[in-house]
Chain A
Amino acid sequence: MDETILQIRHLSKSFGSHLVLRDIDFTVSRGDVTSIIGSSGSGKSTLLRCINLLEQPSSGEILYHGKNVTGRGFRASTYRAQVGMVFQSFNLFGNMSVLENCVVGQRKVLRRGREEATEHALAFLDKVGMAPYIHARPRQLSGGQKQRVAIARALAMDPEVLLFDEPTSALDPEMVGEVLGVMQTLAGEGTTMLVVTHEMAFARDISTRVVYMNNGLICEDGSPEEIFRSPKRQETKDFLARFRRVENP
């Protein structure tokens, strides 16, 4: 099934005179698990934040099922509810329990009833292995647990696409595995995901497509095999070589 969900056209973003994204063209189809890799400052996170309209693009279009979401008169909140986001720093609501974190969006944004929302939230908390902790507050959880709750919170909104902004970068090494495990499960179930990551193993083994970004441009875009086995561009080779040096010294 190759149904296009998101289409990004000529997207540019600048902070002051600093051009962070230059004329990005990019399409997300249903079932894609896309990893966006690249060195820090290459614009990966900004691209993701632009897609979720947390940053206003300077120019260009983002088409969601053919509708331009950056135009005036488009309710950003309605769109965001359908595009889930998982942050590097979790961003769980500190004033709510784990369960409330996963319920509040469904109640207030999707207008679901309390029972339905709770049931739905419990199902996803169960899926990420956090069901026993529903009464805990975010501050009482470890980083890996928080990130799993954050994933459940995003999933509970039944989004069409899930955006992950370096979901494991703020975690202790021993907690990276539990979060990647959840993401692997989701990928296996056909969830459409867009993942900004430094985890090359995830990009190589789990994603269906890898995008290498450099200096605000999409430098190379292809299947994991293409990018990791036979990268065409010199920049991509150099970037991957840096990782190999660490992984196989």
Chain B
Amino acid sequence: MTKLSKLAADVALLWDNYSGAYLNGVRNTLLLALVATAIGCLIGLICGILQTIPCSRYDPPLKRFFLGLLRILIRIYVEVFRGTPMVLQAVFIFYGLPYFTDNAMRFSSVWAAAILIVSINTGAYMAESVRGGIISIDRGQTEGAMAIGMTHVQTMTHVILPQALRNIMPQIGNNFIINVKDTSVMFIISFTEFFAFHRYITGVNNMYFPSAAIEMIGYLCMTLVASFLLRWIEKKMDGADNYELVQNDSLTLTAGTYTHPTRGTPFDESNRVRAEEGGVSHG
């Protein structure tokens, strides 16, 4: 018990002195994770869409060649960035750019470097998630859209992608939460996110454990809020569980100017009513 109260006192002490630094770290972490996840999702979306462009043996050879090339390039990108640690990618890109250009090109800000690295990393994972999301949509949806004359682009934007995006929402959430935590490796290029401030603060006063406690609670708070928000967004995307029946009266008003054929089917209530009333909407 005394240990716990000592921890509480230490945490309070740290918080009193460094709350600004910790909060600054939280802000940087969240900003980086948000921006990089958004850009990463965009990269993933583009890669996923490009990879699922239909290609049949009836297509012209040039189209088939370019689609094949595109698929190979995306595959290489995914495998390289998914298969190497992000901390190494950070070093590789951040120091590699000036190395290869003899210092002619370098990252002007550590923010730009961090966003770039986390984005392309997230993009590699999302490319596969989006591809999976698109091919998980029943083939019938595509056929239904094509049967009413929609082009591939229209089918994708209006029918397939809205449903695929709904299905990969949990995956987007996963990536965001992973990014909140994994951006901590960006200290390697001296990006000052939440964990970097832990290193600075403990470097001054050696209070490793109390500071780690603050960090643990901080990260957990960020990820819990994120999970909660993501669940809420998913629910919103699903729409209402129930629906309202529309009364025939209001419908007749909306569709009143259309000329109906007088015949109706046995279950065609409004047609029957209209016929009985002497064809109100036919004139």
Contact = CB atoms under 8 A, between A and B. Distances in A.
Interface of A: 52, 54, 56, 76-82, 84-85, 87, 89-95, 97, 104-105, 108-110, 118-120, 122-123, 126-129, 131-137, 140, 150, 153-154, 157, 178, 181-182, 184-185, 188-189
Contacts of B84: none
A153 B145 CA distance: 11
A109 B148 contact: yes
B52 interface: no
A126 B271 contact: yes
Interface of B: 56, 58, 138, 140-141, 143-151, 154, 158-159, 162-163, 166, 239, 242-248, 251, 254-255, 257-258, 260-261, 263-271
Given A77-B150, A157-B149, A135 B144 contact: no
A52 B138 CA distance: 19
A130 to B, nearest CB: 9
A13 to B, nearest CB: 13
A94 B140 CA distance: 11
Contacts of A85: 143, 147
Contacts of A56: 56, 58
A110 B263 CA distance: 27
A153 B144 CA distance: 10
Given A95-B163, A157-B149, A185 B265 contact: yes
Contact of B243 (A82, A109, A137): A137
A235 to B, nearest CB: 31
Nearest to B161: A95
A54 B245 CA distance: 35
B154 to A, nearest CB: 5
Contacts of A76: 146
Given A87-B143, A131-B248, A185-B263, A126 B270 contact: yes
Given A108-B150, A126-B255, A153-B148, A181 B265 contact: yes
Interface secondary structure of A, over-half rule? helix
Given A122-B255, A181-B267, A132 B149 contact: no
Contacts of B258: 119-120, 122-123
A137 B143 CA distance: 19
Q: Which of B243, B251, B269 has the most C-beta atoms of chain A within 10 angstroms of its own C-beta?
A: B243
Contacts of A118: 254
A93 B58 CA distance: 28
Nearest to B247: A132
Contact of A93 (B144, B151, B166): B144
Contacts of A120: 258
A129 B268 contact: yes
Contact of B257 (A87, A90, A119, A126): A119
A79 B151 CA distance: 11
Contact of A133 (B147, B245, B247, B257): B245
A161 B251 CA distance: 28
Nearest to A49: B143
Given A80-B146, A91-B140, A188 B255 contact: no
Contact of B141 (A82, A93, A119, A150): A93
Contact of A87 (B144, B166, B263, B269): B144
A135 B248 contact: no
Given A56-B56, A109-B154, A131-B251, A189 B147 contact: no
A81 B150 CA distance: 8
B143 A134 contact: no
B243 A108 contact: no
A91 B254 contact: no
A122 B251 contact: yes
A181 B138 CA distance: 28
A140 B239 CA distance: 12
B147 A52 contact: yes
A132 B248 CA distance: 7
22 contacts: A80-B148, A80-B149, A81-B149, A91-B143, A92-B144, A95-B159, A104-B158, A109-B149, A123-B255, A126-B268, A126-B270, A129-B268, A129-B269, A131-B248, A132-B248, A133-B246, A135-B243, A137-B243, A140-B242, A185-B265, A185-B268, A189-B263
Contacts of B245: 132-133
B27 to A, nearest CB: 36
Given A91-B141, A93-B144, A134-B246, A128 B150 contact: no
